[in-house]
Each structure stands twice: as C-alpha cells, then as structure tokens.
Structure 1
Amino acid sequence: GEVIVLEEPLSFWGAYEPRTGAIIDVHHPQRGASLTGRIVLMRESRGSGSAPGAIAEAIRLGTGPAGLILVAPDINLAVGAAVAATLYGRHCPVLAVSEERFAALRKARHLSIADDGAISVETG
C-alpha cells in the first residue's frame, strides 16, 4: 500500500475519525490526511485505552490503515487490530521495527506486508 509517514504521534481516540479515516486533531501537522488503505509509519502513537475500539471500528468500516509500522510497540493498536481480525475477518498488521529499519522504510512510497510480517518495498 501507499505509505504515509506521520511526523508526530497520533491518538486513534479523538484525533482520528474512524468513519472517514482522516486525522482530525487540529494540532497535528497532518490534519486532514487520510489513513484509509495506507501503510502508516509513525515512531509511536499517543496512547489511550480507547484506541483499540477506534482502530477496530475503522478497520471494520474499511476506512482504517492497511498496516501500522512503529518503532515503539503499542499494545492498544495491536489489540484493536486483533479485535478487527477476530470479529470482522479484516486484517491490519501492526509491526514494531528498529529505528534503523524505520529510517529506511520511511523513504519508500509503497510497501507490502506479508502474512508472516515481512515488509518489502514495492517498486513501480
């Protein structure tokens, strides 16, 4: 999928609209950007115990990201994605990578994530 690199952490509860897939936080530098169907790269999220519900709902609606790649592991996003997979049969991989790998991936325009979590750069 197409890559979007978030310059600041994002909370999926209150800063993201699950019905549209857009960033709605007025203070986020990428306000208005759509995450729908995109591979989202961000170093970390802004945590909230309600994030699993928001991300699961977006995935259920088809407005969620195609994948999330972070440096800091995030249990809330992982739980939300697991709920969507279990209840709705819709998948959004959530992966944590090293700073070095993140720096390399953020240069890509398109990435794919295999079922085993392997990330590859798409060309063309």
Structure 2
Amino acid sequence: MSDLKVPGFKSSELITGLDKAFSSFTDAEKQAQIKKTNGIFEFQVTNDAKEVATWTVDLKKTGTVYKGSAKPKADVTLILSDDTLSDLASGNLNGQKAFMTGKLKTKGNIMLATKLDGVFKAATAAKAKL
C-alpha cells in the first residue's frame, strides 16, 4: 500500500486512504461501487515544486487504486494541484466550482467526473468503519 505514496504530495495520504477503504470493502460493496461509478479515473496531480504524480482509481473493473497511468485508458483524466485534490476530497471545494474556476481540468468523459464526490464519500464512510 505504501507504494502509492509520493514524497512531496499531500494527496498521497488521500490516495492511500482510498486504497485502504476499497480494500476494506466486501466483494458485494466493491461490486456495488463499481456498478454505481463504472469508470476509470486518472489523477495527474502537480505539487508546489511543479512535480507531477499520477494515480489511477479503477472503478470499472477491479475496484483498485494504483500509481501510474491508467491501463486500460482512463475514462476521465483529472488534472489538478495537490491542494485542489485535498480540498475536493475533504469536501472543502465543490468539483463544479473547481472546474469553473480553472483549478480542475479534465480530459475525457466530464460527466463521469461528477461521480467523484460519491467515490470520496464512500471511501470516507468505509474509513469511518475501520
């Protein structure tokens, strides 16, 4: 799990937390989340030092989180700063507002990006149970 961490990125903790949450899901919970989301998200996150880290959340086939580009191709790629991802995940920033103000850029199926809030909420609920 620690192989998801990238030095210099606050969102490493968030991504690791998502992975732990998905790992704690029963097969039925994981399948329900996959059915509800049905997409592969690729995060291209830039930190203050202008370094880029890439993580993928596969909620189409496997219900897993991994470091690196999506394989197969991501349904939606989210390009954002480390701070923006942290704010989105914590609920301090609305995804639509982030997009409209240019803090969040997307490639691919933008409508799928709207499901991200539900993914973060499901992971938060799972972490609360741990």
Q: State the TM-score, normalizing by the size of structure 1.
A: 0.30
Structure (1 or 2) with the greater strand fraction: 2
Q: State the TM-score, normalizing by the size of structure 2.
A: 0.29
Structure (1 or 2) with the greater helix fraction: 2
